[in-house]
Amino acid sequence: MASFGVGGAHPGGLQLTKSILARENIDQETLILDVGCGTGQTSAYIAEKYRCSVTSLDSNNIMLEKAKQRFLSLNLAINVMHGSVENLPFCDGLFDFILSESVTSFTDASLTIQEFKRVLKPNGVLLAIEMVLEDSLSEEELKIIIEFYGVSQILSELDWYNLFKKTGFKEISVGKFKQQSNKNDIDIDAAPDFLLSENIDDKLLAILEKHEQLRKTYKDKLGFYVFRCSF
Ligand SMILES: C[S@@+](CC[C@H](N)C(=O)[O-])C[C@H]1O[C@@H](n2cnc3c(N)ncnc32)[C@H](O)[C@@H]1O
């Protein structure tokens, strides 16, 4: 993804992000952490729209470089941090919101969710968009998906719910996001954001094709849900 220069890399794109954030109370005093920020599309949107304090963290340096370029070109003062969500470089109880858009599945989810809880204020909110297993997959199918995407696990809605609960989140609400299947329904806000790198290798284009093929094959078995977790 970093090599492709894919900016907004979660299902639903910026449109979904906007609708999730619009339901929250965010003002200039709010402190938001965008974990696994990628190339910073969401962080830039939040900083421009809400004029609040945004911290963008990712473990991939190519992503962070692209995020920095984006923030510089938009003249946005956003804190950019290199680090892992499994061991966040922040003190306890710092943030009002954590946004995790298609990130936790790539990590040890149990560790990561504990870290989210630790760095959130007691009245803080975690907003997470995650891949969810909606129907059973064979061992072989699971292996194909896990290997291709590099995710650490594919959890069901109940698995996610139990993980959030076990970590100490008390209020957990779940929204289901459905991918548009009609190819003619192109919505610029819901589409991926490309800051394409130069000299893209043919191998990378093959990866994008494979992604599209897997997305179609498993569209009824893999969903993307929005989890809102608070204490
Ligand atoms: C699918 S992309 C999503 C990027 C961005 N949130 C978005 O929606 O456009 C996953 C991102 O998570 C980052 N990531 C993966 N594992 C991570 C970890 N342990 N700590 C921090 N970031 C991580 C990747 O580098 C990548 O930028």
Asked if 169 and 109 count as a contact pair (C-beta separation under 8 A), the reply is: no
Does residue 3's CB lie within 6 angstroms of at least one atom of ligand 1? no
Lookup result for tokens 């179609």: 216
User: Is pLDDT of 196 > 60?
Assistant: no
Taking CA 147 as the corner, what is the angle to CA 142 and CA 153, rounded to the nearest 5 degrees?
60
Does residue 193's CB lie within 6 angstroms of at least one atom of ligand 1? no
Using the Cα atoms of residue 159, residue 165, residue 166 and residue 169 in order, give the sign of their dihedral: positive
Q: Where are the domains of the chain?
A: 13-134+154-198+223-230
CA 18 to chain CA centroid, nearest Å: 13
Q: What is the mean pLDDT of residues 76-92?
A: 98
H/E stretch holding 81: strand 79-82
* Whole-number Cα distances in Å, 179 to 13, 122, 230: 10, 34, 26
**pLDDT tens-digit readout, 54-72:** 999 999 999 999 999 999 9
* Ligand 1 atom index nearest CA of 112: 19
Average pLDDT, the chain: 88
CATH code reported for the domain at 13-134+154-198+223-230: 3.40.50.150
**pLDDT tens-digit readout, 142-171:** 889 888 888 888 899 999 999 999 999 999
Q: What is the mean pLDDT of residues 31-36?
A: 98
User: Is pLDDT of 186 > 50?
Assistant: no
Asked if 80 and 49 count as a contact pair (C-beta separation under 8 A), the reply is: no
Q: What is the mean pLDDT of residues 15-23?
A: 95
Cβ neighbors of 134 (< 8 A, separation 6 or more) are: 156, 157, 220, 221, 222, 223
User: Is pLDDT of 215 > 90?
Assistant: no
Q: Atom 18 in ligand 1: which residue has the minimum CA distance? A: 84
